[in-house]
Structure 1
Amino acid sequence: MTDLPSSADVIAAHDAALGAPPVAGDANDLRGWIAANHFHNRSLWAHEDLARRTQAPDAEIVANKRAIDRHNQARNDAIERIDEVLLSALGLVDPATLASALPRATAAPGARLNSETAGSMLDRISILGLKIAAMREQSRRTDVDDAHRGMCGERLQRLVQQRADLGACYDELLADARAGRAYFKVYRQFKMYNDPRLNPALVAEAG
């Protein structure tokens, strides 16, 4: 079976990436898709901050909102690719159906279905990494009072614990999947608002 990254591997890669400017890179394997997901989460975070400005020209806010849509779609696409690669490596999906809208699971009888996919868990770990970095920065500010730094320090500890707990759940899911005790599925996102065939407002514009 392909060597799959542990939560510790993923967290280390996420944190290392935060120490450098965001680079999209090529996603052609599991670690590449994990990095792509993290890149799009970083980009989303930056544009979400900018979109909340109150003194910027409307055109800039519109550009931020459209960038948010693009990165959110790409983020979700990366989650699906992560799930596909993991399920293939674990032997939990029919290869002939993997690219379809409804990939067929091949789990052992009696295995429990995990409600959250491993890709979704890694996405949440990525977002928690961003929250941790931002809260750590807040806890070290010198232009605020002790109360602000103390509050942020307490929140930082909670976020670190939350990421560690989620990482342990991801590791447990992979271990159970390897042992035939659990499985998950690829769930297509079907983002209707980005599809000109399905978004009523875009359909009306085209008509």
Structure 2
Amino acid sequence: MTLDAAVLVRQITELQAEAVVRWHVLDGRQHPLDNPYTGLLSVACQQHQFNYQLWHEEDVARRRDVTDERIAQVKRAIDGFNQQRNDWIERIDETLIGSLGAWGVEPVEGARLNTETPGSAVDRLSIMSLRVFHLEEELSRDGVDRAHVEKVRTKLARCEEQAADLAHSLTELLEDIFAGRKLLKVYRQMKMYNDPTLNPYLNGAARKAG
């Protein structure tokens, strides 16, 4: 991992774009979701995998030609992937904090928190890379008219602008963190729906109340 924020963000966004293409090519084969990276990039790739899997389960959940049993299976898979996606957002921030300690980076007096952590921004970039890939697929889909292509081009241009803006903002945030001007804390998602001690429909409290 590098202390050069611009280089790090470029490595992450390139990883996300390249992995989306590679995973789609390998989809359906054994072990399609590879992770050939190390350190923080490996963590970012793993988080990206859960977004990839979540994206495609969400597509299946909207189909009308599958059974209710299949939809129920998909919904449970969505819950699982979403939980892991959020867990690995935290893992990204934990990894960054560990690296800051190893480098001896300490916050300066008056350092402030940011409303979004680097892990959350990496997650948003991950989703954006998936959106861009699928919009680009739509441009070459057979049987679509010019109006469809123009609509997709407009959406794609907007997504690319948003991704560039987000990458720039993440770079600035990391520069501030690396310089000690911003604090970095891990904010636990504390999702309740998959926790049997907190979800009343899993621990039986809702049934008893009924």
TM-score bracket for the superposition, by shorter chain length: 0.7 to 0.9
Counterpart among 64, 70, 73 of residue 74 in structure 2: 64
Counterpart among 15, 19, 24 of residue 13 in structure 1: 15
Pick 1 or 2: higher relative contact order, CA cutoff 8 A, min separation 6.
2
Task: In structure 1, give the amino acid aligned to 2:116.
Answer: E
- Aligned-residue Cα RMSD (Å) equals 2.1
Distance change >3 Å, CA 185–CA 27, structure 1 → 2: farther
Percent identity, aligned pairs only?
A: 42
Q: State the TM-score, normalized to the length of structure 1.
A: 0.86
Q: State the TM-score, normalized to the length of structure 2.
A: 0.85
Residues 1-207 of structure 1 mapped to structure 2, 5 A cutoff:
2-3=1-2, 6-21=8-23, 22-23=32-33, 25=35, 29-91=39-101, 107-204=107-204
Pick which of 43-52 and 106-115 moved more: 106-115
Q: Report how many residues are paired.
A: 193
Pick which of 174-183 and 189-198 moved more: 174-183
CA distance in 1, matches of 2:200, 2:129: 36
For 1:100, the equivalent position in structure 2 comes to: none
CA distance in 2, matches of 1:199, 1:26: 37
The structure that is helix-richer by fraction is 2
CA distance in 2, matches of 1:27, 1:72: 22
Deviation at 1:108, TM superposition (A): 2.5
Any stretches of 5+ residues in structure 1 without a counterpart?
93-105
Deviation at 1:26, TM superposition (A): 8.7
Deviation at 1:29, TM superposition (A): 3.0
Query: Which consecutive segments of 4 or more residues in structure 1 shift more than 4 A?
Result: 24-28
3-state SS of the aligned residue for 1:187? Answer: coil
Residues 142-170 of structure 1, C-alpha deviations (whole Å, 9 max, x = no match): 31110100010011011011011100111
CA distance in 2, matches of 1:160, 1:75: 23
Any stretches of 5+ residues in structure 2 without a counterpart?
24-31
